[in-house]
Chain A
């Protein structure tokens, strides 16, 4: 079946540091890929997405590129802020199985001033 593997956390960075959270996946066909974010006390919300190979999703300074050759969708941000502290989930949606979604276990990011 499909699976998503995220780098283990927690990750602690200083403000303005560079962020990378690794995500790799296993899936048949060509899934859509997502990053969701969960801020403290809030529900999950979509951060960015990519629907085909070599697509780059971007939002709020975050970016991720759909790499089919390495089955990866790593999340990056050039300069993190304290307000970026949250849990980040990588996910895929199958394009062959009624859009069934599979999530990674999440990576907790803490940004210190």
Chain B
């Protein structure tokens, strides 16, 4: 069964360092999402791609976060510099599209980031 892959699964870093997360969506899924999930809360959308284009990054802290999906397939989320408050689970999800029967999201296992 096709799955969304994420790496690394765990990352420990010191504040002010740079970190990067990678996501490989299910083949053929045009829409890719990055979420941040703080313990005890629901996922918060950081950025959404349709193919290689960003369609929503309104909640992405653009002074330190960046995301790309250059060929419309896999994606990288970067934080530089990391801050203590960035400690969270970072989830990637993908879907066929955004309307009707296509908007079911499939989630990866997530990357747990700890900033010391």
Contacts and interface: CB of A to CB of B under 8 A. Distances in A.
Interface of A: 4, 32, 34, 36, 42-46, 49, 51, 89, 91, 93, 95, 97-106
Find the residue from B42, B50, B91, B109 having the highest chain A CB count within 10 A: B42
Contact of A100 (B42, B48, B101, B106): B48
B105 A46 contact: yes
A98 B98 contact: yes
Contacts of B98: 93, 98-99
B25 interface: no
Contacts of B103: 32, 93, 99
B45 A101 contact: yes
A101 B105 contact: yes
Contact of B107 (A4, A43, A93): A43
Contacts of B40: 105-106
Contacts of A51: 100-101
Interface residues of B, number: 29
B90 to A, nearest CB: 12
Nearest to B6: A43
A98 B107 CA distance: 18
A100 B99 contact: no
Contacts of A97: 56
Contacts of B108: 43
Contacts of B99: 95, 99
Nearest to B44: A103
Contact of A106 (B35, B42, B48, B101): B42
